[in-house]
Each structure stands twice: as structure tokens, then as C-alpha cells.
Structure 1
Amino acid sequence: MKRKIGLSAMVIGFAMSLAACSLSEKETARDMDHGKMSMSSNQQTESSSMEMNHESVIPVTMKKATKPMFPVNTKVILKADHMEGMKGAKGEVVEAFDTIAYAVSFRPLSGSDEVITNHKWVVDEEVTPRGAKVGNRVNIQANHMTGMMGADGAVDSAKKTVAYVVDYQPTTGGALIRDHLWMTEDELVKAE
């Protein structure tokens, strides 16, 4: 009997890990050239060495934006500085989704003792419970950075918005960043 229970637990665990690693239709081979990039100082604690992961998957439950300010293929300039080389970078909108965007604070599961504060952005489809309010505790189901997936965190801010996926060329040089998750409408301006 113990052997059957153990085998069942292994099968369930394996199935859950496969489900967590499944790819959305948006994930393609072009995403494989994404490197890791250091976060800017406003997105981390001063001594943080956390790295962004540009191979994150768009949740399959996301709803396409009905009236985005910046439709797909719009050329934009990034105003936010989530990461080094982002502010002022030229980019292009790849996807746009209606959602709630959260800034969250959390302790990474990668063994680090530091707390990441005010990380922008995690969307409603990447947290449980959904529909969180400022101050609520959430479990983060996103892999935007090392140690984020499965981490417990707190909502620092929340806003109903259009969340954008963008490709952009860092102002610091280097390779084009593809499918960066997430930018909000107030963090973009149409390129002239």
C-alpha cells in the first residue's frame, strides 16, 4: 500500500511540474535568445544581485486588450527603469492584455535573505488569490526573476490597466530583449 501511495505521489508531482513548465502559444524559439539582465536600483534592495528572466511564459488565461493605447506592432519609447538600459529604450509592442498589474515585495526562494521590494509588475493571472488588494498576501506564480516562482509576497500597489509585452533595444547596448513582461500604459510613449 505504501508503495502505491508513494508511486501516486511521484506521478502527481511529475504531472504538476510538467504543468508548471508548459508553454503558452506565445512562447516560441525566438524567446530562447533572451539573456538575463540586472535590475535597476529602484527594483531591488541596494545589495541585490537578482537577475531578470526573459524566458517567462504569458499565462494562457490572459485576455487580449480590447482597446489598448498602444496596439501590437506600435513603436514605443520606454519610460520605466525596471532594469538597467530600459529607460529611454526604443521598443515595439508585441502583446497587450487587460488585467490588474501588481507591484509586489517578496523573499526569493533561491536562498537569498534579501527581500525584493516594489517589483513591477506581476499580473493578476500570475498570483493567487486573484483580485488582490494592497497589503494582501499572495503566492507568486511567475518566473520573471530567479527565485520568484512560488514565492509568497505582499501587494504594494495594484492597478487595473493594460499590461504590455515589449521587445526593446537596451540603451546600454547588447542584444535585443524580446518579450519583456510587463509594461503598463503610463510607462510607454509612442515613438515619433
Structure 2
Amino acid sequence: MMKKRLLGLASLLLFFLLAACAGNEATTPNENADTESDNHEIMDNNRGESDSNKEMDHSGMHHSGSDEVPEGLEEAENPTYPVGSKVIMHADHMPGMNGAEATVSGAFTTTVYSVTYTPTNGGEPVENHKWVVHEEIENAGAEPYKPGDEVVLNADHMEGMKGAKATIDTTEQTTVYMVDFTDKATGEKIKNHKWVTEDELSPVE
């Protein structure tokens, strides 16, 4: 009888020891490290998506605009795409734009900038906004600005843009176009969209 009890106790102790070992194996340091690594990767991906959304958020963009242009902006003499030309856009300044067919409604020679600015209405900073022409910058002189220069915007492409302080990100001397097109995402007809650069366009085949 005593032997049976001792055997029973030994079996019970062995069972508990095996269970404890299995529990430890289930949460080894390496697995904990892998879990933490996965968590960091998810956080990094979410942060990256947030940054991308900040750069590309053009929900406040004024889709259609006036055909009026800034004072001093000169019409291009021999643009690659004259007014009335049919073109395909290769730009994603706003949803429904990339790949859309457009009609050129204006062509101008200028210096064009991408800019980072904080909206005057208190929104999040807008990074790498495309595009602002030289004539849309307050008190712009004859010389073009350089990357890193700080300016004040007179452009009104988006809510909170006019009067905002901005930093020049890129600068390019080129022909810019004003275009009419149909938004591929919504079907909305957009008139006088400002601006699209020449290298963002191709002819309709």
C-alpha cells in the first residue's frame, strides 16, 4: 500500500515538473524577443503609413479653380502641349488624377517649387506639396528660391495655404500647365487644376 502511494506521489511530481518545463519552453527569451520585434515592426509600419498620409493628404484641395493666374506669370511661347492638347497625367497630387486624360487650358514658363508648410487654419504640416509657382510666393524677386529657403505662400490651392509660412523642398525651371480633367475616382469634372509640370504629362496615343 505504501509503495503504491509513493509511486502515485512520484508520478504526480513528475507530471508537475514536465508541465513547468513545457510552460518555460513556450515563453523562451528568443520567442519574447521575436514578439517584441514583431510589435516594433507593426508600430514602424503604422508610423510610416501615418507619415505617408500626412504627405499625400490633399482632402482640402480646391479641385476646380479660376482660370486667372498670378500676376507676372508668363505664357509659354512654344509649349510641348499647347492649349487644347489632350494629355495623360502621371501625377498623384490628388486621388483620381494619375492616369486621367486631361485637356490643357494654360501653359506657362516659370520656376516651380514643391514646398512644406503648416496651414494657417491649424492643420498638420503638409509635406512636399506639388506645385507652387514662383509668382505665387509673397514678395518674390527675380531670382528663384533655393531648397531650404523660407517663404510665405500666396497660393490658394488648399485650405489654410494662403499666407502660410513654407520651406522650399525642390526647385525647377520648366513649363507648368493648367488642365481640365475628369476625376477617375469620383467622376467629378475638374476645371483649371493648377499645376502639372511637363514631365508629369504624356500625349494621348
Is TM > 0.5 for Structure 1 vs Structure 2?
A: yes
Q: Tell me which amino acid in the other structure corresponds to 1:93.
A: V
2:156 aligns with 143
Aligned-partner Cα distance in 2 for 1:69–1:125: 21
Structure possessing the higher radius of gyration over alpha carbons: 2
The CA deviation at 1:50 is 4.2
2:176 aligns with 163
* 2:91 is aligned with 1:88: no
Q: For the structure 1 residues 105 and 44, does the alpha-carbon distance in structure 2 shift closer, same or farther, using more than 3 Å as the test?
A: farther
2:6 aligns with none
* SS of match in other structure, 1:88: coil
2:117 aligns with 106
2:192 aligns with 179
The CA deviation at 1:60 is 2.8
The CA deviation at 1:55 is 2.6
1:121 aligns with 131
The CA deviation at 1:173 is 3.3
* 2:53 is aligned with 1:52: no
Q: Is the 8 A contact 2:56 2:93 kept in 1?
A: no
1:13-68, Cα deviation, whole Å (9 max, x unpaired): xxxxxxxxxxxxxxxxxxxxxxxxxxxx9985169574111335411321000121
Q: For the structure 1 residues 173 and 93, does the alpha-carbon distance in structure 2 shift closer, same or farther, using more than 3 Å as the test?
A: same
Aligned-partner Cα distance in 2 for 1:89–1:125: 27
Q: Is the 8 A contact 1:95 1:165 kept in 2?
A: yes
Aligned-partner Cα distance in 1 for 2:70–2:192: 13
Q: For the structure 1 residues 74 and 135, does the alpha-carbon distance in structure 2 shift closer, same or farther, using more than 3 Å as the test?
A: same
* SS of match in other structure, 1:45: helix
Q: Tell me which amino acid in the other structure corresponds to 1:65.
A: A
1:67 aligns with 78
The CA deviation at 1:156 is 0.2
Percent of aligned positions that are identical: 41
Q: For the structure 1 residues 147 and 84, does the alpha-carbon distance in structure 2 shift closer, same or farther, using more than 3 Å as the test?
A: same
- Larger fraction in strand: 1
* SS of match in other structure, 2:135: helix
2:203 aligns with 190
1:160-179, Cα deviation, whole Å (9 max, x unpaired): 00010000111113221000
Report the aligned-residue RMSD. 2.1
* SS of match in other structure, 1:51: coil
* SS of match in other structure, 2:54: coil
Aligned-partner Cα distance in 2 for 1:96–1:49: 23
**Runs of 4+, deviation exceeding 6 Å:** none
Structure-1-length-normalised TM-score: 0.73
* SS of match in other structure, 1:125: helix
Aligned length: 151
Structure-2-length-normalised TM-score: 0.69
Aligned-partner Cα distance in 2 for 1:96–1:42: 33
1:13 aligns with none
Q: Tell me which amino acid in the other structure corresponds to 2:168.
A: V
